[in-house]
């Protein structure tokens, strides 16, 4: 950094090799629009008061009067701050033991059915206490930031009791995340069955969770909640003013897509098992398909039918699913690499839109996040490359150089 001074409210990133931003003004982007990226070569971005004030070619930049902090962007390219619209980042402990068991042949569903899996993280998260949970979340949010994520959603769902669910939502909110109440993630051991657990959460937790959360989510899957139970949970949550989301078609097609469409959910997430009927139905709807290739990779599952979804006209987003069991991965750049190599060949432009503007749409923030354009929040990732497509190209590499959030440097490789 050069010419900086404490308290400057203007930040000029100049000399950038490229600025790349999804085209258009609408959200979510679909079809042809999903692959349209506006690229400005030899460019600058001016941030003012936490917003983007101007983007243009370096040669058109006129001297700026007054105090301006400058970043030298030579050799770098800028993209919008990444938006991770599906994480379970608020957890305590790890599942490294389970990871080793899975590597030796145990399956995720078997571990879950035997009281491990999600329920082992529930035990650790319940025991963490509010301070422990806040610390764990801060550590995870730091990892996400270093990977270029400037806006994140995180779900509860590792409490499954009143106090821990509320503590999770409070911690996520306090950390600046977008909180989703995943009150129907699993049935905790103190309840005999899913229906009895739902009686409890809807009566005793929903009224307190709804003011803290923006959305509600359910794990609609064999061994978790069936379609009738998911409908009951989601209808009650909609009645409390929450936006609806679903974990669906991860292992089996159990009715998630029709339910999502019927209830006008914002998204249905996973879709590793979605067939042709589900693809067509989703494409004809406003529900966004959120694809989580790191989770499919981590569990050795089939990848979701991304290419078919996009070609059929569905709106898609990409997210990490960051959690200790099925996707211990906080990196959206890695997810973009997987999208371009494992998801039937999404193009880098499609991957970029899917984890910026379309993800912002899932979080109801596309009016101010997900594009590098005047008026939007000044959230930028400066990539350590002169071509923005290194975002997906550099598989697992140190591609994030500097992260700017709200017009300030939030993390940088440059001391
Ligand atoms: O999205 N599938 C359900 N929930 C998470 C995993 C949570 C966990 O294993 O702790 C998911 O994959
Ligand atoms: Fe998930």
* Confidence grade of residue 2 (pLDDT, cut at 50, 70, 90): very low
Q: Mean of the pLDDT values across residues 151-162?
A: 98
Residue 4 has pLDDT above 70, yes or no: no
pLDDT per position as a tens digit, 20-43: 999 988 999 999 999 999 999 999
| Residue 250, SS3 per DSSP | coil
Q: Is 120 in the pocket of ligand 1 (CB under 6 A)?
A: no
Q: Is 250 in the pocket of ligand 1 (CB under 6 A)?
A: yes
pLDDT per position as a tens digit, 183-197: 999 999 999 999 999
Q: 161: CA distance to ligand 2 center in Å?
A: 19
E-assigned strands of 156-285?
178-184, 215-219, 243-248, 267-270
User: CA 412 to CA 266: how far, in whole Å?
Assistant: 34
Q: What angle do CA 408, 71, 81 make, to 5 degrees?
A: 45
For residue 345, the tally of other CB atoms under 10 A from its CB is 11
| Among protein residues, the one whose CA lies closest to atom 12 of ligand 1 | 326
| Among protein residues, the one whose CA lies closest to atom 9 of ligand 1 | 325
Q: Find out whether 140 and 89 touch, Cβ atoms under 8 Å.
A: yes
Ligand 1 closest atom vs CA 108: 9
User: CA 292 to CA 301: how far, in whole Å?
Assistant: 11
Q: Mean of the pLDDT values across residues 160-182?
A: 98
User: CA 17 to CA 42: how far, in whole Å?
Assistant: 5
* Mean pLDDT, rounded, of the chain: 96
Q: Is 217 in the pocket of ligand 1 (CB under 6 A)?
A: no
Q: Is the pTM of this model over 0.85?
A: yes
Q: Is 158 in the pocket of ligand 1 (CB under 6 A)?
A: no
Q: Is 35 in the pocket of ligand 1 (CB under 6 A)?
A: no
Q: Mean of the pLDDT values across residues 314-324?
A: 98
pLDDT per position as a tens digit, 199-208: 999 999 999 9
| Pocket mutation for ligand 1, best pick of 85, 185, 290, 292 (most atoms within 8 Å of C-beta) | 185
């Amino acid at each position: 950094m050069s010419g900086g001074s404490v308290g400057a409210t203007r930040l000029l990133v100049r000399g950038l090799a490229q600025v790349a931003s999804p085209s258009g003004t609408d959200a979510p982007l679909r079809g042809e629009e999903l692959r349209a990226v506006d690229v400005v070569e030899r460019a600058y971005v001016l941030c003012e008061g936490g917003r983007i004030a101007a983007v243009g070619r370096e040669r058109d930049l006129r001297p700026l009067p007054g105090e301006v902090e400058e970043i030298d962007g030579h050799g770098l390219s800028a993209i919008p701050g990444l938006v991770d619209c599906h994480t379970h980042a608020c957890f305590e402990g790890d599942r490294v033991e389970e990871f080793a068991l899975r590597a030796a042949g145990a399956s995720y569903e078997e571990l879950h059915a035997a009281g491990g899996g999600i329920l082992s993280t529930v035990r650790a998260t319940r025991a963490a206490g509010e301070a422990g949970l806040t610390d764990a979340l801060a550590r995870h949010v730091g990892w996400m930031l270093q990977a270029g994520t400037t806006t994140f959603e995180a779900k509860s769902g590792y409490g499954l009791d009143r106090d821990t669910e509320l503590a999770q939502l409070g911690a996520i909110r306090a950390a600046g995340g977008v909180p989703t109440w995943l009150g129907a993630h699993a049935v905790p051991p103190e309840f005999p069955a899913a229906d009895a657990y739902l009686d409890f959460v809807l009566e005793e937790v929903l009224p307190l969770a709804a003011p803290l959360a923006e959305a509600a989510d359910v794990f609609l899957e064999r061994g978790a909640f069936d379609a009738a139970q998911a409908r009951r949970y989601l209808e009650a949550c909609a009645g409390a003013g929450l936006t609806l989301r679903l974990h669906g078609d991860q292992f089996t097609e159990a009715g998630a897509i029709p339910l999502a469409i019927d209830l006008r959910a914002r998204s249905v997430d996973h879709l590793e098992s979605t067939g042709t009927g589900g693809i067509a139905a989703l494409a004809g709807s406003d529900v966004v398909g959120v694809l989580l290739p790191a989770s499919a990779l981590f569990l050795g599952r089939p990848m979701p039918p991304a290419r078919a979804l996009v070609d059929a006209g569905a709106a898609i987003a990409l997210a990490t699913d960051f959690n200790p069991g099925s996707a211990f991965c906080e990196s959206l750049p890695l997810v973009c690499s997987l999208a371009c190599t494992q998801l039937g060949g999404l193009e880098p432009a499609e991957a970029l839109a899917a984890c910026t503007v379309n993800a912002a749409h899932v979080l109801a923030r596309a009016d101010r996040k997900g594009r590098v354009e005047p008026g939007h929040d000044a959230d930028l990732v400066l990539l350590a490359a002169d071509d923005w497509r290194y975002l997906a190209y550099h598989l697992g590499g140190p591609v994030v150089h500097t992260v700017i959030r709200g017009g300030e440097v939030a993390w940088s490789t440059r001391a």
